[in-house]
Structure 1
Amino acid sequence: MFSRGKGTARRERVATVVRPTRVRRFTSNVIPSLIFVVDLLCLLISMPAALLLYEFSVGLAVVPGVHTAAAFIAGVAFFLIRQSRGVYSQSLAMLRSSDAAVALDYVFAALLSSAIVWQFGLVDEFSRGLTLWYVGSCVGSLLVSRFVLRALLHRLAVGGRIRQRVVLYGADTEIVERTCRMLDLQALPQLLLVGVADDYARRSRDETVGDLPFIGGFSELLAMARDGEVDQVLIALADLTRDRLDLILDKLSEVAIDISLIPREAIALAPDYRVNFVGAIPVLTLWQRPMRDGDTLLKDAEDLFIAAVALVFLSPLLLVTALAIKVTSRGPVLFKQPRFGFNNREIMVYKFRSMYVDRQDVSGAERTRKGDPRITPVGRLIRKLSIDELPQIWNVLRGEMSIVGPRPHATHMKVGDHYYFDAVKGYAARHRVKPGITGLAQVRGLRGEIQTIERAKRRVELDRYYIDHWSLTLDLKIIVQTVANILFDKNAY
């Protein structure tokens, strides 16, 4: 809930807005047009700037026709890319795309333009020096314009020059408060919540809903709209029937305002969804594949490179370990165990055998404890140093595992008296990526035996955090922390 001070401040802002004013005001729908105009000016200004810089640094004449055509093609491609991202169509967005995105979009458009010039055989008349100056000027001006435009729009919004005055229709206090929290998190200074309206609510004009004033029903809302005090109505009702929606639209259709509907699920599920489109149909995406396309290729390349390098440099250690296991206890050198892998499919995970053959538990139902008599003397050492996990490099090279990821659990692994997948809600979500030799939970002190449900939940939380925030940098940090923790980890036995 908003604090009382914030609610008071909002009501004071409302009172300021509804007074007649001579200041020319625009709604937030003008923002995409401003962004388009600024982008266009950046491209146009960059042309003479690049020519001056080129002539000053090189002093050679160029063929203007080819370069003008190339700049035009790059500009058209750039605006098409930006439009496909929705930059010029989101009326309530204030430069939502990142600063890096606009630079990358123009670089891609310039590469496309250069490819067309090459395809038509005009390379000989094309100055690479001038092209570099122009692309650099465009990228630089676009980046600088983002900072300037963001500051300008913020100032115009706070000053009331650009403002979208919104009324929430629906006087349910809980829904209003959740909607206000969602909008506050978006940090949209151009959006001003004027109040709450509802023809079915039994409230007086002096009451508040959450921290917003209750303005009344249709008649009061229409009067405000006619006086130019409302730009948009957001319908936020928990149980909205088709008949009531038709009634609202019919009553409000006589005034020139925007009418939008906040789906019930958008409020109930916030903020755990994203709005996407399947064709022209808007959908609330509740769960997304965490790694896709370029991220998947980058992750696979990372795994193959590190696994190959590790196999070469660690081969002496692998041979010595195998020999020590073979000499000190009977049985095979490697231990194979079925575990949960990517998409919850069962995989066979390899480890150096650290237990006596007749005391092993392939199912994983019996937990390994401190001072476990099943572990051999050599096994105790290699488990302490995590050397027993190194054969899983082979699983990585086979594409079944990653270097970094949630640790694969045995199919019958338990925490307390319950199986892991029954004891922890959302456990299966950790299988949305390949399991790893090491992971975020392991470097955060949750390596080894998990004795309580609380520690099991914490491990799964860290696994899910890793999945949702994966990056190459995060992987490298985990690898470095893993190496640093091996000698000092008291939870490994």
Structure 2
Amino acid sequence: MSKIDLAIHGYPSRTPFATAARRSAKVWLCLTLIGADALALLAGFAVGVRIEQPGVLSSDVWTSLLGVILVHAGIAFQNQAYTTKCLTSAQASCRQALLSVAATLLIFLLVVFSLKVTGRLPRLALSVGIVSSVVLIISQRLLLCHLVRRAYGNRLHTELVIVDGGNVPDACLGSDIVDAGVAALRSDLDDPYMLNRLGTLLRHYDRVVISCVPERKIEWAQVLKGANIQGEIIVPEIGELGPLAVHQLSGVTTVVVSRGPLDLANRAKKRALDIAFTVPVLIALLPVMLVVAIAIRLESPGPIFFRQERMGRGNRIFQILKFRSMRVETSDSEGARSASRDDDRITRVGRLIRRTSIDELPQLINVLLGEMSLVGPRPHALGSLAGDELFWRVDRQYWLRHALKPGITGLAQVRGFRGATEHRRDIVNRLEADLEYLQDWSLWRDFGILAKTAQVLVHKNAY
């Protein structure tokens, strides 16, 4: 049994049925909303075209309608028109829907004017199509919001209350409740396996509320900030928690201390970039990876890949993949000793692939599996030291970097902060860059970091 298995042993691995049902319902309801919008646009504009041109619709008309639907879907997704809020708030749903339709029509008209085909534009069909589509979209969204609120009320989000010595308000009894003492959960920033246990539990929920004694509130706040979840603490005072907002849980005041740094639309864009880049690169580099694998096997016995536990998004541990660059008997699975320039553990092939960063290529598999991203904070080994001190003890903000997926490359790497961490400042520099990346993330910045990575593949600190 592995350390991770031991860490979660004794706690039910299955999500409560009601929680799992709500999570599944949200996904299906969002997909239903997307499909309903597409059908409304299709039906609305089809009616307009049939009124002006009775008979069977031509293939050109169907192609144009399909294009409008795809453009609208992209705009609506970017415009947050398919969020959970749009499932429960009729006002927000209709507002975002109207803005998305307006933007789609604006793009359509710009294309028409640029192609100089305004003279052939069926004005009656367009007018009837716009009115019909808007009426259908608003009608189906109002109906869906009504049905969702009737079926789920305000409980569409999945909520968990963790009790760590605090009191449980009566208003919280409708949520899933875990007694930290019974489940052996602690706000221990010095125990990565405990954080992994908590991260494994929290992945089933949208929101977690902590009820704890005053002396543990600040530590719980630090734990939640890197957990990639909306975390809140039941507290009458805000003190040193650094709150983002004050919310209410069924009438009980809570302080929001963390949110995932990216919303659904931005997570989807980042994941799309990962897939679009990783698949063709893996295919193109497959011959190189095969040659490296053969060279590793010929030089020294042992596995081709080196696997090591690293901390990922939400403080969940995963197995990172690298080409093995050291002899098996001297490999450091805990990562307590950083590789140095004259490290006698590294093989001849290993020195070459580390110098050129080829040893990192198998991490593209981690990206495909969704454990990593192309760009993000680099995942560190659990035993990594800055001088003679563990990374997370140098600065407690270290755990905040895990609110995003770890990356193959990152802002710290392109700034030259890589290699051995012989001094406290070595990890502080990386942490400052990682926190800057979290705060100012954008897709264009990811493109820029990927472009700059090519300039630092061969680096004086890579050994």
The answer to which structure, 1 or 2, has the higher relative contact order (CA under 8 A, 6+ apart) is 2
Give the structure-2-normalised TM-score: 0.49
Give the structure-1-normalised TM-score: 0.47
